[in-house]
Structure formats: structure tokens, C-alpha cells
Amino acid sequence: MSNHKQPTVILAGGGHTHALFLKKLQKEPSPSAHFILVSASRYTPYSGMLPRVISGHYTAEQSHIDLESLAMASNCTFLKATIAGLDPDANELILENGDRLQYDILSINTGSTQSRVIDALDCISIKPIRPFLTWLSHPLPKQIQQSEAFNLVIIGAGAAGVEVALALHKRFKNLDQLNIHIVTARGVLAGHPLEVQQMMSEEIQKKNIQIHNHFRVAGVKGKVLTSDQNETLHYDALILATPAAPAGWPAESQIATNPQGFIQINPQLQSISHQNIFACGDIAELAHSKLAKSGVYAVRQAPALHKNICQMLAEKPLEPFRPQSHFLSLLSCADGCAIASRGWFRARGRLVWLWKDWIDRRFMAQFPLPEPGSMKINDPDQN
Ligand SMILES: Cc1cc2nc3c(=O)[nH]c(=O)nc-3n(C[C@H](O)[C@H](O)[C@H](O)COP(=O)(O)OP(=O)(O)OC[C@H]3O[C@@H](n4cnc5c(N)ncnc54)[C@H](O)[C@@H]3O)c2cc1C
């Protein structure tokens, strides 16, 4: 960097990539820059554990990273604030309270939420996760108990939708009046290997969760969903587990985004329009190879991001991130059993569950976690 003052590197959002970036910074400090982590929340979730938080196998605290403690240990300033905009030509990040933060280098890792296929009352997205967990603990059980028959409908049968459906079945197993439905336009686990789709469909059927295949939601009236084929389904509560969608603010700024609003990046993880801006994880879209919106890629991008920010600070050439074509997928069935697949390999059962548990606990063991009970997930004001 050519200016004389110490450059400021802002890490916008505390997703998986930035959490691992901070771990790397702890081991290899960069005295040449001032790092600031801006996060809407002190705690960030590790998505791989979430279905098993819902099913009661882990506490919320076991599945969240304490970003403030992590930043402190990495000699990085922590700022709890919500990002609302970006002025890339002025090198400014805009916060919800109107403040503007100047940066020399910006890295964006703010994740995604669910695409809103419909505007309905009683509709909640799985992400952001904290209000979703609060809703599961607070109003939902009471609403189910007060009803004679309660239809909980999940829109989307990707990995998140099916894992959450099975976890909800486990969580509310004593509430007989609860009926769980999944509606899906593309079928269970579209894009996954056929055997994995079959194994998961069997697990869903075993639990009497009703799957509505080829149900492309076209509208909602009162508490009835309508498909594009005019099928109808009554619901009492609706959960969105639809494909990942970006926040609106990147597309509203001057930074290059794809038609959906994801930030377009080159193989070095830089914005294709602004070289001093990096983006990674769900919010980013590699310009020439479409990667799944998966935590695996957000995790794998961390070493490349660390390397390239250090290289940029040292005014050296950047290196490309090389995504792997196959990765291990482990899907929890919420009952002590899980399904594994990678390339030609498939497995299902208790050992896979224990394997997933071991991988996820080992991942979280690198980070400071919130104190037990400190997240107050039952308190809506804490969201
Ligand atoms: C139920 C469920 C289960 C999943 N299971 C798996 C799995 O087993 N394996 C897998 O690979 N993937 C899984 N995924 C996908 C995975 O969640 C995402 O791909 C992953 O979280 C993306 O990570 P990220 O680093 O981009 O951002 P995230 O981990 O989503 O983090 C984004 C961070 O940015 C913060 N933030 C967002 N907006 C703002 C803002 N405006 N201002 C300030 N801070 C902000 C958020 O608070 C959050 O801390 C699952 C998803 C769901 C919903």
C-alpha cells in the first residue's frame, strides 16, 4: 500500500471465512495493517450444527462462535453494527446508523438469507438463524399446543429444508397434533446423488413427514398455499428453506453483482469491479464457475483470502482460489443416524452420525464459544 498511514482492512460480516481468517491472523499476525471486524451480532452460527441445535442435541452456545473474543485474540477491533450499504468509489462502508467507515481493503462475508418466494404472514426464514431459533422456542410450541391439528409447512427440500424438517419432527415428537409438510418444486435433495435422495426420502417417510413433490408455490391466500398447477395446501405456520438469496445492499451500490445480487468475484476472490474489495462465502459468486452456496466453500476460501489480503498489503501478486469439485456431504437425520456421500462413496447410519459429530465439534473447538446460557435464545429482545 503506497500511503504512509497504516492501511485499514475491514472485514464486513463474521461468516465462516472471516472466523477462520481471524484464526490465521492469530497465528500469523500482520503488523502492517489495522483490522476491523464489523458484525451485526457478537455471535455467529456454525451452520453444520444447526439442525442438531433444533433437535436438541447441541445448545445454541455450542453452535456459535464468539466473534468479539476471537477478534480480540487476533488483535482485530470488533464493531457490533449492521452494514446497510457500500460506496466503493469513496472506499466507504455504510452502517445502518448512518456512520461511514473508511477502508483501504474491504472483505465482505455476510452470508445469505432465503429467497422470498411469497409474501405471507406467519412466514419465517431459517436464516437469520437466531430469530428462527427464538421463534421455535417461544411462540411456536404454544401455537401448536393450542391447536387440534397444526400444519407446519416447509418450503424447500434442499439439504437445509430436509434436515430442518427431520429436526423439527424430533423436537416436537410429543405434540401429536403437529403435521409437518415439505413442499418442493424440484424434489428431495435435487442435485444430490440419486441414492442419497432415496435414502433421505425413506427417512422422511419413516417420520410421517409429508412431501409434496412438484409443488411450485405460485400464491398464497389466507392460510392456503397454491401451486402453479392449482393444488392447495393449508398451513398454520410457514418456514422458508428456499435457495440462498443475497441482501439488497450490494446490488444497490456500484459494485458488480450478478442478476440475483450476489457479488461477482474473480478467482483471487476480488470484486470484478473493485480490486480492493474481496468477497467470499455465500454472498460471493465466482464469475466463471458457479459454486454451491455451501459452508464448505466459505471455509475453504479462508486460507486464500488471508494469503491474498497479505499479498495485497505487501503489494505482491495475488493467487487464485482453486475450488474442489467433490466434497464430503454429511446430512443429519436427527435420530442418531446420518447420511454421507462424496464422489462414488455413500453411507448411512449411526457411525456416520458420530463421524459428523466429531468433525463439527473439532471444527468448533478452535474458536471461543459463548458462555453456557449466555445467548438467551428464548428472549426475542436478544435477537
Ligand atoms: C439449516 C442449515 C444447515 C446447513 N448445513 C450445512 C452443512 O452441514 N454444511 C455446509 O457446508 N453448509 C451448510 N449450510 C449452508 C451454510 O449455512 C452456508 O453456506 C454458510 O453459512 C455460508 O457461510 P458464510 O461464511 O458465507 O456466511 P454465514 O456463516 O452465513 O455468516 C454471515 C455472517 O454475517 C453477518 N451479517 C449478515 N448480514 C450482515 C450485515 N448486514 N451487517 C453485519 N453483519 C452481517 C451474520 O450475522 C453472520 O454472522 C446450511 C444452511 C442451513 C440454513
Strands (E), 74-208: 77-80, 83-87, 92-95, 100-102, 105-108, 113-114, 123-125, 150-155, 178-184
- pLDDT given for residue 231 in this prediction: 96
Q: At what angle do helices 295-313 and 16-27 cross, to 10 degrees?
A: 50
Q: Is any ligand 1 atom within 6 A of the Cβ of residue 107?
A: no
| Residue at grid coordinates 459429530 | 357
Among residues 313, 339, 366, the one where a domain terminates is 313
**CB neighbour list of residue 115: distance below 8 Å, 6 or more residues apart:** 240, 242, 243, 244, 245
- Regarding whether 256 and 142 lie in a shared domain, the answer is no
**CB neighbour list of residue 27: distance below 8 Å, 6 or more residues apart:** none
Q: Is residue 28 part of a domain?
A: yes
Q: Is residue 260 part of a domain?
A: yes
Burial of 4 (0-12, 13-18, 19+ CB in 10 A): exposed
- Regarding whether 223 and 143 lie in a shared domain, the answer is yes
What is the rounded distance in angstroms from the CA atom of residue 17 to the CA atom of residue 155?
A: 28
Residue-range definition of the domain harbouring residue 299: 8-40+81-112+246-313
Provide the number of structural domains found in the chain. Answer: 2
Q: Is any ligand 1 atom within 6 A of the Cβ of residue 298?
A: yes
Q: Is the pTM of this model over 0.75?
A: yes
Ligand 1: residue of 18, 36, 47 to mutate (most ligand atoms within 8 A of CB) is 47
Distance from the alpha carbon of residue 111 to the mean position of ligand 1, in angstroms: 5
- Regarding whether 289 and 182 lie in a shared domain, the answer is no
Assign residue 228 the CATH number of its domain.
Answer: 3.50.50.60
- Regarding whether 144 and 255 lie in a shared domain, the answer is no
Q: Is any ligand 1 atom within 6 A of the Cβ of residue 50?
A: yes
- pLDDT given for residue 114 in this prediction: 83
Give me the tens of pLDDT residue by residue for the chain, a chain 383 residues long.
545 689 999 999 999 999 999 999 999 988 789 999 999 999 999 989 999 999 999 999 999 999 999 999 999 999 999 999 999 999 999 999 999 999 999 999 999 988 877 776 568 999 989 999 999 998 999 999 999 999 999 999 999 999 999 999 999 999 999 999 999 999 999 999 999 999 999 999 999 999 999 999 999 988 999 999 999 999 999 999 999 999 999 999 999 999 999 999 999 999 999 999 999 999 999 987 788 899 999 999 999 999 999 999 999 999 999 998 788 999 999 999 999 999 899 999 999 999 999 999 999 999 999 999 899 887 766 65
- Regarding whether 148 and 265 lie in a shared domain, the answer is no
- Ligand 1 atom nearest 48 alpha carbon: 8
Q: Is any ligand 1 atom within 6 A of the Cβ of residue 109?
A: yes
DSSP state of 32: T
> What stretch of H or E contains 285?
strand 284-286
Q: Is any ligand 1 atom within 6 A of the Cβ of residue 352?
A: no
- pLDDT given for residue 377 in this prediction: 81
- Regarding whether 124 and 108 lie in a shared domain, the answer is no
Q: Is residue 17 part of a domain?
A: yes
- Regarding whether 232 and 127 lie in a shared domain, the answer is yes
- pLDDT given for residue 382 in this prediction: 65
What is the rounded distance in angstroms from the CA atom of residue 228 to the CA atom of residue 212?
A: 13
Among residues 201, 221, 243, the one where a domain terminates is 243
- Regarding whether 253 and 108 lie in a shared domain, the answer is yes
- pLDDT given for residue 4 in this prediction: 63
Q: Quote the longest CA-to-CA distance of the chain.
A: 70
Phi, psi of 92 (to 5 degrees): -130, 135
- Regarding whether 125 and 108 lie in a shared domain, the answer is no
Q: Is residue 64 part of a domain?
A: no
Cβ atoms of residues 172 and 201 within 8 Å = no
Cell of residue 158, nine digits: 434442499
- Regarding whether 264 and 155 lie in a shared domain, the answer is no
Cell of residue 286, nine digits: 465466482
- Regarding whether 131 and 159 lie in a shared domain, the answer is yes
Q: How many CB atoms lie within 10 A of CB 22?
A: 26
Q: At what angle do helices 159-171 and 194-206 cross, to 10 degrees?
A: 20
Cβ atoms of residues 311 and 319 within 8 Å = yes
Distance from the alpha carbon of residue 154 to the mean position of ligand 1, in angstroms: 19
Q: Is residue 369 part of a domain?
A: no
Euclidean distance between the first and final Cα of the chain, in Å?
Answer: 39
Q: Is residue 33 part of a domain?
A: yes
Among residues 261, 287, 313, the one where a domain terminates is 313
